[in-house]
Structure 1
Amino acid sequence: MLNTPEPDAERQALDRAVAEAVRARLAAGPHPTPEIEAIALRRALQGLSPPATAAVRCLLGRLDSASGPALTVWGPASQVLASDRFGLTARIAGTPEAALIAARNGGRALMDLTGASGWWGRLLAEPRLRVVGALPDHGHGLPRAVLVQPVDPGPTGDDRTFWVTDSPWTDARIVQRLGEGGLAADPLIAAGGLKLFVLAGYVQPDDGRLNGAPGDLSGVIGAAPVF
């Protein structure tokens, strides 16, 4: 005869506590702004081991997907990154424009950074849409996709800013000129005559350090927290 396993009352209680915490957190709804969410996430992760951090980020990402604005993804990297962070709930867009339309309508769009499309350059002429996140967001390297939303991101204390220029200068010369103005920059990608750079820290569009920056068409298109 099969023996019924003895229940582990302690683990059952812990599992139930997690389930109740999930229910309560869903009922509370999403954080009001991306920067508030990022600051709260940093506090939640303080003191956790790497495995615990990964588990908490996975859980909170799925809670965010369930209670936050609808998520649309464009590009293969974004599909993988979104499934890891938010679960399998995102709508897949066939074109960058379709993803941006979803963001314009109040959703969020996680979009690939690829030389095949300079879609991010459109944000220069569409200031209502801003980059508010970038994945991977651990800061150990450059992002492969950015999250676009119709909100202005605020500073979180550890950020990177995205800046576009049409300057024909080499990346090295642009980095040098920005450095002379006090900005640390890394080239990210180029497409359609435009170049996208990552600036260290939170840089506002009207930051004086950008005065005289190279390019006839240039500007900040958003910022994202680093964890």
Structure 2
Amino acid sequence: MLDEPELDAERLALDRSLAEALAARIAAGPHARADARALALREGLRNAGPVEAAVLHAVHGRMEAAGGRRFVASGPLSAVLAADRWGQVTPVADAETALGRVDPSVSALIDLGERPWWGRLLARPDLRVVEALPDDRAGTPRALLISCEPSGPTGDDRTFWVTDSPLSDVRIRADLAERGLAATPMTQAGGLKLYAIAGYVQPEDGRLHQAPGALSGVIGSAPIY
């Protein structure tokens, strides 16, 4: 004969409470802005250990998808990162296709890759980086999430800046440091260079007006957890 499992009443009550809380949160709808989502997630992570943090990231991501946000992914790494974070993702052939799919309900996660697709954002003020994965402090971002939604500072951010300056990374970083900006090189291709600047820097920040490069600018920012 098969023995029936003995259910722990306390754990069962916790499971029911979790299901009820999740249903109520989904019914309340998503946050309207990327920075609001980041602040809400950071609040939940405040006292969370590594296991709880991983679960919270997944739960928040899937709540976003359940609330109507859709995602496309370009590149093998983005496909994995997007599926892990949001659970639902539509793969597309290339970065250009992904950017063309972005609208108020669709965001695109794109591998940094070997082509300077991110340089296109200099001419697209309607599109911006709102997240960068991996997004932990120890990791180096390998994919950028592009959206047309508004976003602002969250208190712990990276700002992404593009330049066509032919100067070396050492000289560019030194120039930015003199302006009070700590920059880390991310990638370069096609005569363009992408840097991550510590903190939230607005596109019109005066410190960047005379920064290296004839063609340069901020293309968005992303929270760090």
- 2:152 is matched with 154
> What is the aligned length?
225
Aligned 8 A contact 1:153 1:224 in 2: no
Aligned 8 A contact 1:188 1:198 in 2: yes
Q: Report SS of the residue matched to 1:147.
A: strand
**Distance in 1 between residues matched to 2:135 and 2:145, nearest whole Å:** 11
TM-aligned CA deviation for residue 141 of structure 1: 3.3
Q: Report SS of the residue matched to 2:102.
A: helix
2:122 corresponds, among 121, 124, 147, to 124
**Distance in 1 between residues matched to 2:186 and 2:206, nearest whole Å:** 22
- 1:56 is matched with 56
Matched, 1:139 2:127: no
- 1:93 is matched with 92
Q: Report SS of the residue matched to 2:145.
A: strand
Q: Report SS of the residue matched to 1:151.
A: coil
Residue type of the alignment partner of 1:20 = E
Residue type of the alignment partner of 1:129 = L
Unaligned runs of 5+ in 1: none
**Distance in 1 between residues matched to 2:64 and 2:138, nearest whole Å:** 24
TM-aligned CA deviation for residue 211 of structure 1: 2.0
Aligned 8 A contact 1:104 1:129 in 2: no
- 1:13 is matched with 13
> Within 5 A, what are the aligned runs for 1:204-215?
204-215=202-213
- 1:203 is matched with 201
Residue type of the alignment partner of 1:82 = A
**Distance in 2 between residues matched to 1:165 and 1:5, nearest whole Å:** 63
Aligned 8 A contact 1:69 1:108 in 2: yes
RMSD of the TM alignment (CA)?
Answer: 1.2
Aligned 8 A contact 2:157 2:199 in 1: yes
Cα deviation, 1:36-95, whole Å, max 9, x if unaligned, reads 1111111111112211111121111111122142111111111111121111x1010111
TM-aligned CA deviation for residue 200 of structure 1: 0.4
**Distance in 2 between residues matched to 1:68 and 1:160, nearest whole Å:** 26
Matched, 1:27 2:30: no
TM-score by length of 2: 0.96
The percent of aligned pairs where both chains have the same amino acid is: 54
**Distance in 2 between residues matched to 1:220 and 1:69, nearest whole Å:** 25
- 1:3 is matched with 3
Structure 1: 4+ residue segments shifted above 2 A: none
**Distance in 2 between residues matched to 1:27 and 1:182, nearest whole Å:** 44
Residue type of the alignment partner of 1:111 = I
**Distance in 1 between residues matched to 2:131 and 2:216, nearest whole Å:** 20
Residue type of the alignment partner of 1:171 = D
- 2:181 is matched with 183
